[in-house]
Structure formats: C-alpha cells, structure tokens
Structure 1
Amino acid sequence: MTKEQRENGTIGLIVTLMIGYTIAYMDKAMISTAIIPISAEYQLSSTEAGFIMSAFFLSYSLTQIPSGWLADKFGAKAVLLTALSLTTVFALLFGLVSNLLMFMLFRFFAGVGHGGYPPGCSRAIGEYIPKKQRTFIQSLMIATAGLGGILAFTLGANLIALNWRYAYLLLGTFFFMATVCVALFLPGKAKNATTQKTENNKPNIKYRTILLNKNVIRLFLAMILINFLLYGIVSWLPSYLKTTFSLSIGTIGLLLACNAVFQTLGSFLAGILMSRYFANKERRLIVCLCLATALFLIGFMYSSVLALSMILLLLLSLCSTTAFTAMFSWPHKLFDSSIIGSSIGLINTGSAIGGFIAPMTLGFLIQLASGSYVLSFCSMALAVVICGGIVLFIKKK
C-alpha cells in the first residue's frame, strides 16, 4: 500500500467515525426539544420527562465498561457495527410508541447501542492512528457534539415543530447510513505498525489493574460531574428558554444551533490547546475552564435579558465543552493504546452516569422549586467546581 493510499484510508476512517459521532450527538440533543411536545401531548410532569431522558443514560452507563472490553478483545469494527445497528432500530421504534413506559424502554435500549460507540471509536483511533495524532483526532470526534447539536436544533427542531415522530424517522435513517459507512470504510481488526509494535511488547495488564488505576478513578469521577452540567444544560435548556422568555420551538432551535457552533469551537480549541499550548499542563487548563464555566452559569441564571443570557450561554458552552474534550482526550496521553478501549469505557461510564443523574435530578429540583430553575442551576455550578478540584489530583506517570 502506498503512502497516499494509507493517508486516504486514514482520512476515510476519521470521516466515518465523525459521521457516527455526529448522529449520536444529534440523538442526545434532539430529545431535549422533542420532550416539549411529548410532555404536552401525554401530560407528563417534569419528573416524568426527566425519567425518559435519564433512561437512556442508565443503559448508556451500564454498557460502557463491557463495550470497552469487547472493543479491546474483538476490535473496533464489530463493536461499532453492533452499536449503530441497535441505535438505528430503537430510534425508529421510539417514533412509534405512545405511553410513558414504552418511551422509557426504547430510550433505554437506544442507550445500549450508544454505549458501544465511544469505546469502539477510541479503540479504532488507538488501532489506526499514530500516537502523536491521537489526542487531536479524539478532540475531532468530540467536536461532532456541536455538529450533532446543529442538526438537532435546526433540521430536528423544525421536524419536531411539525411532528416529533418525523424527526425520529429521520434519525433512524441517519443511523442506518452511519452503519453502512462503518461497514464499508472501517478496516477489520488489523493494526498499524506502531500499534502492533506496542502490543507485541506490552505487559500483561489485568482488567482489575485498569479498574483500580487512580487516574482512571479520578477521571471517572470528574466526568460524572462535568456531564451532570453538560447533560443538565442539554436536557433542560429548551424548556428553560421556553418558560423564561416564551419562545417558540423554532426560535429555541435557532438559538441552540448557534450555541452548538460554540460547542464545536470548544472541541476544536481543546485539541489545539492540548497539543500545542498546554502539553503537560492539562490540569491547569481544565481547572481554569471549570471555574469559568461555573461563573458564566451563575451569570446566566440571574440574567433576565435574552441577549445577555445568550452571550453568557455561548461562553458557558465554549468553556465547558473545551474542558470536557480535554478530559476525554487526555487518556490517550495517560494510558497505553492496548488498553485505551477499556480505559475510555470506564471513564465514559462516568460521563454516562452524569448524564443519567442530571435529567431526573434536575427535573425533581425544578418541580420541588415550583418551576424555578435556581436550585438546578446552582447544583450544576457546584458540580463543575468540584470537577475542577478532582482534576488537580490527576498525575501523568
């Protein structure tokens, strides 16, 4: 194989993985808008709406660890194909049901599919991408959160305003297309020369050792807290904007699409900062971003002017997404590529637990405060500050 062919294959691999990530993030973001007409149609309380959103993250958290182990054992392609096939089926089924139990059940099974994608994707990066490029490529994957958000809050929101069921028919179609792309363009379990050399000489690391690694545990806890904020914002921001400023779903979608652009910028920014300006200074970067996020969130909470609120929201999204991407990319510097799938699976379990806790906890706090969002916003600000404190104890060995 010529150098040009290898480069073209690498580009195809990266684009394929980014397509899958984009549709996955579209799914995660779109439910927060779809829950508005679903709640109105079926007269759901904020707590019940939170249960629907949290059901997804319950299964998502449970499947991270086994998916990481399977990705390390059987390779990325098998795990990614299984994950995308499941998400295709249950995205389509979600648009067909009409009661609370089935909404929760199908979001739960959609989370099972989603749970295989991050560790499978990280394993693919570890298998096929040279070590020096992995941190930046991983940040590109996280940058698709913004792209998925743009799709969710433009195309998705417009379809939801027409009929929320149409949006999930489209989403299932997109997942099917992503599955076909992985089947066609992702290589099988073959390794590049760099990875093969590393794995031939690697020590026999037991899974229990990975599970008890202090850096894994600290990143696991930090990810719970940063995602409590991120998915709390994603889950309840559309409802907050509608309640506070009496906006239509179309207008909310437009504003959140602009917010998603800043999330994309944050992910790209994290890759640049981690690679060029904060190499070996990752802790300092993440802690500063966490503190800035908390300050912007408090300002957003007390703002009653839409223009100022949007400025604070954009800054909040920029800082929080940069912090998350930096933490999610950091394992490629901390751990060997032969165990990156298992490590990412464990760490991303923390992400999923944060996503599971946030919607229902914040929904309960909103209901407890008689519709006020003050308690929920303060809890998110506290979570991100504690996250920064935990990051201070992570050490590069």
Structure 2
Amino acid sequence: MRLTSSSDEARGTPSEQGRLSVRATEFRTIALLAGVYIIDYIDRVMIAVALPLIGAEFGLNRTEQGLIVSAFAIAYLVSQLPSGLLADRVGARPLLLISLVAWSVFTAATGLAPGLVVLLVLRVLFGIAQALFPPASFKAIAERTRRTARSRATGMLLASNFAGAGLGPLIVSPLVVAAGWRHTFWIVAVGGLIIGFALWKLLPAPLPREVAEPEEQQTADTSTVPLSHVLRNGLVVRCTLMFACFNMLSYGMMTWVPSYLVDAKGMSMVAAGVSAAIPQLITAVAVVIGGWLMSRWFDQKPQLLVVPAVTIAAVLLIPMLLAEATTTFTVLQSLAMFSAGLAIIGIVGLPMRVLPRDLVGSAMGLVNTGGQFAGVVAPLVMGWLADRFGFGSAFGFLAATTLTAALISLTTRVQHGQLGKSV
C-alpha cells in the first residue's frame, strides 16, 4: 500500500476540486445548449405543422409549401461557413445571444405575414439568424469540455435536436388548433427570448486550454494551419457529404410526414402531430446511445456502426410506405429513425473529436453546410415528387439518399490530429 504524505493530500484536494469544476462546466454547458436546441427545433417544426393551414389560407400547392421550408434552409445553408468563421474569431457567447434574439424576433414577425412573398422573406431572415447558432454551440462545447468528452457532448446536443423536433408537434399542434397558426408563432417567440436570457446569464466561462486540450493531445500548432487545410481535410469533407445525404431523411420526415398523415391517411392535425412526434423522440434516445457506442467502441472505425445502422434505416422505409394502418406506419418510421439515430455521431461528431478547438467552428460550419443542403433539397424534391407521382416516390427518394450516406461512410477513415490531409 502506498503511503500518502500530507503534501500529496494538499495537492490532491485541489485536483479533485478541479475535476468537479470541469464536470460542472461541461454539464451546465451541455444542459443550457440542449435547452436552446429544443426551442430551436420547435421553431423549425412549427412551420411544418402549420403548413396545411398556411397553404389553405394563401392558396398554395405542395411545391409552394415546400418552398417556404426551403427558403429557410437556403439561407441557413449559405450562412453556415461564415458563421463558423465568426465563431472561431469572436467566440461562442456573443453569437449565441445574437442568434437567439434575432430568430425569436423573426418567429414573431412570421405571425404577421400577409402572404407568400413576405413569408418567404421572413423565412430567409429566420434562416440567417438560426445559422449563427450551430457553429457557435459547437464552439462552446469545444471551449468548455475536454476532448475526450466531446463525442458524448455532441451526442447530447444532437439528441436535443430530435427531442425538440419530437416535442414540437405535441406542443404546436394543440396551439395551432386552439389559437391559430399566427398566435402560435408569437407564443413560441416569447419562449425563445426567455431561454436566450438564461443562456447569457448562466453559460460558464471556457475551460483553460491545458484542461480542454492537454499538451500531450495537441498534435499541431493550429495558429499556423491555414483554413484551406481544414476545408480540404478528408475527414471533414466526407463528413460534410455524408451529412448532406443523411439529413435528407431527417428533413424529409420532419417536413412531410404531418402533411402525409393528414392528406393521405385522413388523420386530424393533432393526431398527426402526435404520430410525427413519436419517431423524433425515439431518435433522441438513439442519438444518446449512438454517442456512447461511438465513444466506447467505434471512435476509430465509425463505419462499423454507421453503415449497418443507416442501411437498416433505408430498408425499413419500404414496408413503412406499404403500411395501410397509421399505427404500423408510425412504428416502422420509429424503427427507421432509431436506427439512423445510432449513426449520426459517427457522421457529425467526428470532427469535434479530432480537431482542436481553435478550428471547430470553421470545420463544423462546413459539415453543417452539407447537412443543411439537405434542408434545401429534401422539402422541394419531395414536394415535387408528391405532386407529380405521389408520396411513395417522395419517400423512395429518402431511401436512396440514406443508402448513399452508407456508401460514403465506407471510405471514411479517422486520423486524429492530422489537419492537413486532403481528400
């Protein structure tokens, strides 16, 4: 047995206090950002739930309704990389607050839209405002967590995305029915402002660099690495392409399942909102499990988790489309989304684990650009396919893009700390 001197005990006590302080910083950061993401996705899902009423009021076909969703996604897409560069230069805290306040203002203004043109403009402004948040949130995670904790932390953030997408229909559908779609936008905007104030007051300071990224884990002087090396890094580029294909499934389900259940299955809006919420909430659980699996077993070989999980999700879309009963449809959709949820950390979380925090904002801005490309394409393509050929073709498009993500994953290799590797 090793004897401990009084001087060792003196050194050990601050060390234990330091570990507790680090864990408290990590926990508070993740909890606050997860709460904001829930509001974020309630805001996004709200437009999908309200689309049937908006379409009826403004006399819009499905393609035009898809354009409303895509207007947000286009602005969100082109703003991702500039937002990432901003996050790396000015830090996370200012961008987080600006984003929350701005998108809450534009959410409230949406409830005043007199027609399609103004609604499209507001959705573009809403997209720009929300685009500031993801790179800033990933930057906040990189500044306030240890490198070894980032896969799990990223998993919790992504899980909160799906939790928000699942809670959104449950909250918004009754509000839309009771208060109308315009008043619903105003109510949710107030919630965003309250959460923004809490984030500003409670977000902890960044961890010291030697704690977040110990010297032995830093393999490059990031101050001398050109941004072009990050943009050409093989892992970052492949994650960007994978997320573009993978996120077609998420955006497609989130945008069109409520309308499909109302139009094709004859469900009420509230019932459709509940049915659409269940798979999203199940996906949130799957993302947490996937983050744990990645950290424990698949950090070096993510394709061993990503490829089978994503392939199973794509295959399950076939019986889902053939389901006659709405309960069967929802069960199969939930299984497909659960399987896909297991894989998402193997796509989005890898740059967070590999890159130093000085470059996380830029890298994740690029990866999220790929993911939001899906937000532009999926609503429009699925709306066009549904108008021309029916919802079967629209959901078949999701199966094809999901399988493409699995194929890209087969070529993905993890090289920790090697920032200059090109494609």
Classify the TM-score, shorter chain. Answer: over 0.9
Contact preservation (8 Å) 1:86, 1:112: no
Q: Who is 1:242 aligned against?
A: 262
Partner residue of 2:43? 27
| Maintained 8 Å contact 1:139/1:326 | no
Q: Report the counterpart of residue 143 of structure 1 in structure 2.
A: 159
SS at match of 1:350: helix
TM-score, scaled relative to structure 2: 0.89
Looking at structure 2, the residues matched to 165 and 321 of structure 1 have their Cα atoms a distance apart, in angstroms, of: 32
Question: Pick from 180, 195, 215: which aligns with 2:235?
Answer: 215
Aligned residue among 412, 416, 420 for 1:394: 412
SS for the counterpart of 1:245 is coil
Report if aligned partners of 1:74, 1:189 keep a CA contact under 8 Å in 2. Answer: no
| Alpha-carbon shift at residue 166 of structure 1 (Å) | 2.0
2:329 is aligned, of 303, 309, 313, to 309
Q: Distance in 2 between matches of 1:302 and 1:103?
A: 35
1:299 to 319, 325, 330: 319
Aligned-pair distance for 1:337?
Answer: 2.4
Distance 2:393 2:151 in 1: 36
Answer whether contact 1:75 1:189 (CA < 8 A) is retained: no
- Report the Cα distance in structure 1 between the residues aligned to 2:175 and 2:32, rounded to whole angstroms: 25
Letter in structure 1 aligned against 2:394:
S
Aligned partner of 1:378 among 393, 396, 402: 396
Q: 1:221 corresponds to which letter in structure 2? A: L
Between the aligned partners of 1:172 and 1:193, the Cα distance in structure 2 is 39
Structure 2 equivalent of residue 286 of structure 1: 306
Structure-2 separation of matches of 1:333 and 1:10: 15
Query: 2: CA distance between counterparts of 1:139 and 1:196?
Result: 19
Q: Secondary structure at the match of 1:295?
A: helix
Q: When the two structures are aligned, how many residues end up with a matched partner?
A: 395
Deviation at 1:336, TM superposition (A): 2.4
Offset, 1:201: 6.2
1:194 to 201, 211, 235: 211
The answer to whether the 8 Å contact 1:77/1:188 transfers is no
Q: Summarize deviations over 1:328-360 as a string: whole Å, max 9, x none.
A: 112123322221111110000001111111111
- Structure 1 pair 358/201, CA: closer, same or farther in 2 (3 Å)? closer
- Separation of aligned partners in 1, 2:60 and 2:106: 21
Q: Which amino acid aligns with 1:148?
A: G
Per-residue CA shift, 1:256-286, capped at 9, x if unaligned? Answer: 2222221111111111111123232311111
Larger Rg: 1 or 2? 2
User: CA shift at 1:12, angstroms?
Assistant: 2.1
Which moved further from structure 2: 55-64 or 278-287? 278-287
Aligned residue number for residue 88 of structure 2: 72
Tell me which moved more, 17-26 or 342-351.
Answer: 17-26
Structure-2 residue corresponding to 1:63: 79
Instruction: Give me the whole-angstrom Cα distance separating, in 2, the residues matched to 1:52 and 1:348.
Output: 20
Q: Following TM superposition, by how much is the alpha carbon of 1:374 offset from its aligned partner in structure 2, in angstroms? A: 1.5
| C-alpha distance in 1 between matches for 2:297 and 2:21 | 32
Alignment of 1:174-185 (within 5 A): 174-185=191-202
1:252 Cα offset (Å): 0.9
Once the two structures are superposed, residues 84-112 of structure 1 have per-residue CA deviations (whole angstroms, 9 ceiling, x without a partner) of 12111101101111200111111111111
Alpha-carbon offset, residue 322 of structure 1: 2.4
Distance of 2:343 and 2:176 partners within structure 1: 31
Percent identity over paired residues: 26
Conserved in 1, the CA contact under 8 Å of 2:314 and 2:400? yes
Mapping for residues 109-148 of structure 1, pairs under 5 Å: 109-148=125-164
State which drifts further: 149-158 or 90-99: 149-158
- Is the Cα–Cα contact under 8 Å of residues 75 and 188 in structure 1 kept in the other structure? no
**2:85–2:362 Cα contact (<8 Å) kept:** yes
Match among 62, 65, 69 for residue 46 of structure 1: 62
